[in-house]
Structure 1
Amino acid sequence: MRIGAHVRQDSDPIGWGEQLGAEVIQMFVVDPQSWAKPEPHPLAEQIKASPIDVVVHSSYQINVASTNNRLRMPSRQAVALQAQAAAELGAFGLVVHGGHVRSDAELAAGVDNWRKLFERQADKGGFAVPILIENTAGGNHAMARHFDAIGRLWDAVGEFGAGFCLDTCHAWAGGEDLVGIVDRIKGITGRIDLVHLNSSRDEFDSGADRHANFADGTIDPQLLAEVCRTAGAPVILETPAEGVADDLKYLREHLG
């Protein structure tokens, strides 16, 4: 089991990971709030050569489910470009949020747009790294908040080799019980490729995406450790920076 955290210093991700004692790190390849095209990382060779595994998180504004062409089309391009940049760092995947549509009437179109992302890229030889779809915390018209919605999405994209990233804060805030969650999600997707192991600042089913350190959050840390223990996947902490070292220490002490 490889455990680590999201990088707080993109200029030297491996150095930051080594300082933390991480076995895996997550990083961005662009400003997560921008539509910028990825530039070659100056430490790409060091990142690729390091024994620390790397996964890349896509920029936040991407929404491939959208029925708005002005959002969906640049989102598709951004996924492909960021996947290529991830491959150039030796990353094992690109995490992409499930996204949302504007109404229940558009949900089927949102699922179809996700399928088209993979279909169109398949015609170009596929993505440079696996796309890991992440469950999200809020939104009444979200593609991957509730597990029944994830099931509908997986019926459309599973055949293309899509991966799954399970975020514990998002599941909790989205109203999905964490007890037995690993078996439940594997029953839908057949896989968990990455875990974002985060506590929540908010109560169950709040719909709020606000991460917390284990000692400060509303999720029982023992339950988080159980998800980590049973998922059989790399684990990334996206908890607040001031407590991430303590969170890693807690996990290592409770995963024996």
Structure 2
Amino acid sequence: MTALKRDGCQDMAGTSAATRPQEYLYLGLYAFALLGLELVLAAIEPALGLLSGSLRASVVHWVLSAVIWLGGATGLVAWARHRTGFKLRGEAGTRIGVLRWLVVAGLVVLTVAAQWTLRGGVFPPVAERNAFLELFGDAGAVAWLVQVAYYVAEAVVVSLIIGFGQRAGERCSGAGRVPWGGIMLALTWGLVHFLTQDFATGIYGIALSLIMGTVHVLTGKNLFTTYPIVLVMFIL
């Protein structure tokens, strides 16, 4: 407990050193590092003879990224359960009332509307599928499906960053209604969008992070509920 106070955090429930806020923070950063492995893949793929932008290179990249993310996420969850007793269901006994669901639905609609605006008013899944069909012909449909699987895996890791970040913030501050997970996601995954894409997408990445973190809090911090909502925001 003394060690936690020196770190500016409080031991909220007499927890052991294994469940200090730092443990959850590290887990969140490890999850973020998993996403960063995609850049390593992109760097070594040319050495494997994969021509950037080709159908083969795109499919291999998405498949390898998804495998790494899902494998790494599985390992992190197992480690978190063993070391901290982390529960994917969060506050399982929390009742999610109608008002909360209405707020969540409103945030999803807001996010989808923003996506459509950034895409020039075109439904994103349709726009992506049509673009692949134009690039790769009939094989474009396969490329689109593989990319959806890629999003499915990425959403898993993003959800874990939110979950671990939420636990870290709560352990440190005791404020359970603050979307700490969304803040952590914004400071990691969200900020990266400024480096990898344009300014508008960077702002969107920050805002989306905070919205997804808010959804996590509103749904009782249950990752089984948070994940499908996050996935909808990714794909739509």
Looking at both structures, which has the greater relative contact order when contacts are Cα pairs under 8 Å and sequence separation is at least 6? 2
Larger Rg: 2
Normalising to structure 2: TM-score of the pair? 0.28
Normalising to structure 1: TM-score of the pair? 0.27
Whose strand proportion is higher, 1 or 2?
Answer: 1
